[in-house]
Amino acid sequence: MRISVPDQAVLDHVAARRLSIIRRARDWSDQNSGSRNTAGLMTVLAALEGEVAAALPHALAERVTTADSVSVGDDGSTRAETYAPALRISVRPEAAIQVVLTGHYDTVYPAESRFQVVRDRADGALNGPGIADMKGGISVMLAALEAFETHPEKAGVGWTVLLSPDEEIGSPGSAPLLAHLGARGHLGLTYEPALADGTLAGARKGSGNFHLIVSGQAAHAGRAFEEGRNAVAGAAMIAAALHGLNGQRDGVTVNVARIAGGGPLNVVADNAVVRFNVRVPDAASADWIMEKIGEITAGPPFEGLSLDLHGGMTRAPKPMDKAQTALFEAVKTAGALLGQEIAWKPSGGVCEGNNLHAAGLPNIDTLGVRGGDIHSEAEFAWPDSFVERAQLSALILCKVASGEIDAAKLKQLRMESM
Is 24 a residue whose pLDDT tops 90?
yes
pLDDT digits (tens, 9 = 90+) for 396-412: 999 999 999 999 999 99
Q: What CATH number is associated with residue 10?
A: 3.40.630.10
Shared-domain flag, residues 146 and 70: yes
pTM of the model: 0.94
Shared-domain flag, residues 245 and 216: yes
Rg, Å, the chain Cα set? 23
The Cβ of residue 310 has, within 10 Å, a number of other Cβ atoms equal to 16
The Cβ of residue 322 has, within 10 Å, a number of other Cβ atoms equal to 14
Chain-centre distance of CA 38, in angstroms? 19
Residue where a domain terminates, one of 249, 282, 315: 315
Which residue, 128, 81, 137, is CA-closest to 105?
137
Shared-domain flag, residues 329 and 187: yes
Shared-domain flag, residues 279 and 335: no
Is 42 a residue whose pLDDT tops 90?
yes
pLDDT digits (tens, 9 = 90+) for 315-359: 999 999 999 999 999 999 999 999 999 999 998 889 999 999 999
DSSP states of 339-388 as a string? T----EEEES---HHHHHHHTT--EE-B-S-BEE-TTSTT-EE-THHHHH
pLDDT digits (tens, 9 = 90+) for 67-117: 999 999 999 999 999 999 999 999 999 999 999 999 999 999 999 999 999
Shared-domain flag, residues 92 and 43: yes
Shared-domain flag, residues 240 and 134: no
Q: Is 152 helix (H, G, I), strand (E, B) or coil?
A: coil
Containing H/E element for 412?
helix 407-416
Shared-domain flag, residues 133 and 143: yes
Q: How many domains does the chain have?
A: 2
Shared-domain flag, residues 286 and 356: no
Amino acid 241: pLDDT: 98
Pairing of strands 78-81, 69-72: antiparallel
Shared-domain flag, residues 157 and 116: yes
Pairing of strands 363-364, 253-261: unpaired
Can you tell me the distance from the alpha carbon of 172 to that of 154, in angstroms, rounded to the nearest whole number? 34
The Cβ of residue 240 has, within 10 Å, a number of other Cβ atoms equal to 12
Containing H/E element for 409?
helix 407-416
Is 61 a residue whose pLDDT tops 90?
yes
Length of the chain counted residue by residue: 418
Is 418 a residue whose pLDDT tops 90?
no
Q: What CATH number is associated with residue 230?
A: 3.30.70.360
Residue where a domain terminates, one of 255, 288, 315: 315
Residue where a domain terminates, one of 315, 339, 374: 315
Mean pLDDT within 201-213: 96
Shared-domain flag, residues 12 and 124: yes
Shared-domain flag, residues 260 and 338: no
Is 196 a residue whose pLDDT tops 90?
no
Shared-domain flag, residues 247 and 369: no
Amino acid 348: pLDDT: 86
Q: Is 253 helix (H, G, I), strand (E, B) or coil?
A: strand
Spatial contact of 318 and 203, defined as CB atoms under 8 Å apart: yes
- The boundaries of the domain holding residue 266 are 206-315
Is 127 a residue whose pLDDT tops 90?
yes
Mean pLDDT within 281-303: 97
Amino acid 224: pLDDT: 97
